[in-house]
A and B are shown apart, each in its own frame.
Chain A
Amino acid sequence: MGAICFKRESLLTTGMTITEKILARASGKQKVSPDDVIFAKVDTVMMHDVSGPGVIKVFSEWEKKGLKMDHIWNPDRVWVTEDHFVPAADRVSADNIIALSNFTKKFGIKKHFKYGLGQYGICHTLSHEEAMVLPGEVYVGGDSHTNTTGAMGAFAAGLGHTDVAYVLMNGQIWFKVPETMLFKIEGSKPDYVMAKDIILQIIGDIGTDGANYKSMQFSGSVVKNLEMEERLTLTNMTTEAGAKNGIIDPDETTYAYLRERTDAKYSPVTGDPDAEYSEIFNYEIEKIEPTVAKPFSPGNITVARELQGTELDKAYIGSCTGAKLEDLREAAKILKGKRVKIRTEVLPAAQSIYMKALREGLITIFMEAGAVVGPPTCGACCGAHMGVLGKGEICVSTTNRNFPGRMGHVESQTYLASPLVVAASALTGKITDPRDVKTN
């Protein structure tokens, strides 16, 4: 374990963390503290082709209960994407997309990213790629990995269908203000270590309920130097530790990333120097190695070299966690000029990322290596369709969960790892540390 943990003596502090500051502002209060229950005004709300039809169902139930459901709070603050079951896996999925389209049309929601109609992709990827969420905002979505977008310096949390329906009607929702756990990651990042290795190490250390109901905030020199997309990997998997939200103070990296994508104005906040953290964890990045979470828990970690020789059937490079442009670039470094030994699938997380990868020659590298490159979709990450695992199959994957049956048959197995580890393993057909593969 690379963690040193201590409780901060906190009696004299008065400052707020970034999460507390955003929630205070959104609830019209000067100050909030952990355990306060507040109603927060929401800036942006998202739903997709699984939560959307769920919300539509809630709308029809509420209408039966006598509520007037003929308009929503603010159609311009709502956005929608099609990601879980596209391309339509079957007739039910196709019907869900139709229902979603009818809903957005009826309520005047213009920001609906449609499959096969220009930009579309996984919700948590579009949220940053399209700058749908800005620093200082309260962002909620009908998906547990909504936490991802907290890397932009926003309060971002996942909700269910009823809560999203409530936000659509009222523009606000209740939260218990979470305590904040601070993860400081310092040092000089070794080659072949990615954000995925850091967050797997942290989940391994604190456990899959280690941050239950809490906020996980990341800081330190390593985080400061990480690209935006790598930061998003850290916050994405805070969900796997049970966290309410993951967050990073916005800085020049955040602002530069946004300048390339939007001219929208925003009012960022950062945590006070004397903010109070429930716990502070210090990590030395030099002690972190390429890491793998074994079946059947994201917290069941070990280093890749410990698993050397573990036979695999498939390598999967996909999802909001592991198919951003930076992920594809890293995987391509390993696969360039080589041939994969096992079934390998690459599914860029959004249409725009697919196109950037195409222009950079990454798609050619993947296909020449023998991999299939598929359209953006959540697909097999959640066992929905497009390459699910059969009985007894073993997969190494850049995704974020490996519960029993997560990617297919309940007797299949998934090992979670960085794109570098997955690519290296694709070449050998066994779990492989990328440091043990010669690159061309």
Chain B
Amino acid sequence: MRGKVHKYDRDNIDTDVIIPGPYLKIHDHKELAKHAMEGIDPKFPEKVSQGDFVVAGSNFGCGSSREHAPIALSQTGIKAILAPSFARIFYRNAVDGGYLLPIEVDEATFKNISDKDELEIDLGKNRITNISKNNTYSIKPFPELIAKIVEAGGLVHFRPDSA
């Protein structure tokens, strides 16, 4: 995966800013994408190119269970979110729905990556290469079950006994 970074240097980016409440009644994925990150950066959908990444502070996606949040982000073209930690429901929605990857990075990595940096993410090697800064970072590997679900493209074809 290779793409450009959209960095939001704050913790606790909640689901109400990722996709505000009035849009919860919308279930058309493309329509949701028009409002991704509206509570923090209304121009976000225009800025994103296919394959880009969001880099954000701790506890990304806290708040509601709305699956609209990872859907809206992924429909803009975002392939992964890099943050020091994620709220639990956002994390499992992103993985189980197969929308995008929540990738845990340490604080130093979070600080080192800048807005608009070009990154290459190699999940097989648990490594991020920052092409703009000529730097590499390691990423925390997915737990075993999560890795299996990611590989399966989400829960859709995943059977409980394959855990």
Q: Which A351-408 residues have C-beta < 8 A from chain B?
A: 382-385, 401, 403-406
Contact call B65/A406, Cβ cutoff below 8 A: no
Contact call B16/A160, Cβ cutoff below 8 A: no
30 contacting pairs across A/B (C-beta < 8 A): A37-B143, A50-B25, A50-B66, A53-B25, A65-B156, A85-B24, A96-B25, A144-B63, A144-B65, A159-B89, A160-B65, A160-B92, A160-B96, A162-B156, A163-B92, A166-B155, A170-B159, A174-B163, A176-B143, A209-B87, A212-B59, A212-B87, A244-B88, A382-B24, A383-B22, A384-B22, A385-B22, A401-B63, A403-B17, A405-B39
Nearest-Cβ distance from residue A81 to partner chain B, whole angstroms: 15
Q: Which residues of A contact B22 (CB under 8 A)?
A: 383-385
Q: Which A151-187 residues have C-beta < 8 A from chain B?
A: 158-163, 166, 170, 172, 174, 176
Known: A62-B156, A403-B17, A404-B17. A54 touches B62 (CB 8 A): no
- Nearest residue (CB) in A for B143 is A37
Interface string of B61-77 (1 = CB under 8 A from A): 01111111000000000
- Main secondary structure on B side of the interface with A: loop
Bound-state Cα–Cα, A176 to B14, Å: 22
Contact call B59/A209, Cβ cutoff below 8 A: yes
Contact call A92/B26, Cβ cutoff below 8 A: yes
Q: Does A17 reach chain B (CB closer than 8 Å)?
A: no
Q: Which residues of A contact B88 (CB under 8 A)?
A: 212-213, 242, 244
Q: Which A125-143 residues have C-beta < 8 A from chain B?
A: 142-143
Q: Which residues of B contact A84 (CB under 8 A)?
A: 24-25
Interface size on A, residues (CB 8 A): 52
Contact call A209/B25, Cβ cutoff below 8 A: no
Kindly state the interface size class of chain B when it binds its partner. Answer: 35 or more
Nearest 9 Cβ contacts at the A-B interface: A160-B93, A383-B21, A160-B67, A209-B59, A144-B65, A162-B97, A161-B67, A39-B160, A382-B21
Q: Does B12 reach chain A (CB closer than 8 Å)?
A: yes
Interface string of B144-155 (1 = CB under 8 A from A): 110000000011
Total A-B pairs, Cβ < 8 A: 133
Q: Does B51 reach chain A (CB closer than 8 Å)?
A: no
Interface string of B19-46 (1 = CB under 8 A from A): 0111011110000000000010000000
Bound-state Cα–Cα, A410 to B58, Å: 22
Q: Which residues of B contact A56 (CB under 8 A)?
A: 27
Q: A54-B27, A84-B25, A403-B17 are in contact. List 18 more A-B contacts (CB 8 A).
A: A58-B97, A144-B63, A146-B65, A160-B89, A160-B96, A161-B93, A162-B96, A162-B97, A162-B156, A176-B143, A212-B88, A383-B22, A384-B22, A401-B16, A403-B16, A405-B39, A406-B21, A410-B20
Nearest-Cβ distance from residue A45 to partner chain B, whole angstroms: 13
Q: Does B85 reach chain A (CB closer than 8 Å)?
A: yes
Q: Does A89 reach chain B (CB closer than 8 Å)?
A: yes
Bound-state Cα–Cα, A51 to B64, Å: 11
Q: Which residues of B contact A161 (CB under 8 A)?
A: 67, 93, 97
Q: Does A208 reach chain B (CB closer than 8 Å)?
A: yes
Contact call A158/B89, Cβ cutoff below 8 A: yes
Q: Which residues of A contact B63 (CB under 8 A)?
A: 144, 401, 403
Q: Which residues of A contact B144 (CB under 8 A)?
A: 37
Contact call A53/B145, Cβ cutoff below 8 A: no
Contact call B25/A93, Cβ cutoff below 8 A: yes
Contact call A406/B16, Cβ cutoff below 8 A: yes
**Which of B14, B16, B25 is A92 in contact with, Cβ under 8 Å?**
B25
Bound-state Cα–Cα, A174 to B24, Å: 25
Q: Which residues of B contact A406 (CB under 8 A)?
A: 16, 21
Residue from B24, B66, B85, B92 with most neighbouring chain A CB atoms (10 Å): B24
Q: Does A261 reach chain B (CB closer than 8 Å)?
A: no
Nearest-Cβ distance from residue A243 to partner chain B, whole angstroms: 8
- Nearest residue (CB) in B for A165 is B155
Contact call A144/B16, Cβ cutoff below 8 A: no
Contact call A404/B25, Cβ cutoff below 8 A: no
Contact call A144/B160, Cβ cutoff below 8 A: no
**Which of A90, A160, A384, A385 is B97 in contact with, Cβ under 8 Å?**
A160
Q: Which residues of A contact B66 (CB under 8 A)?
A: 50, 54, 160
Q: Which residues of B contact A425 (CB under 8 A)?
A: none
Q: Does A235 reach chain B (CB closer than 8 Å)?
A: no
Contact call B67/A162, Cβ cutoff below 8 A: yes
Bound-state Cα–Cα, A85 to B25, Å: 8
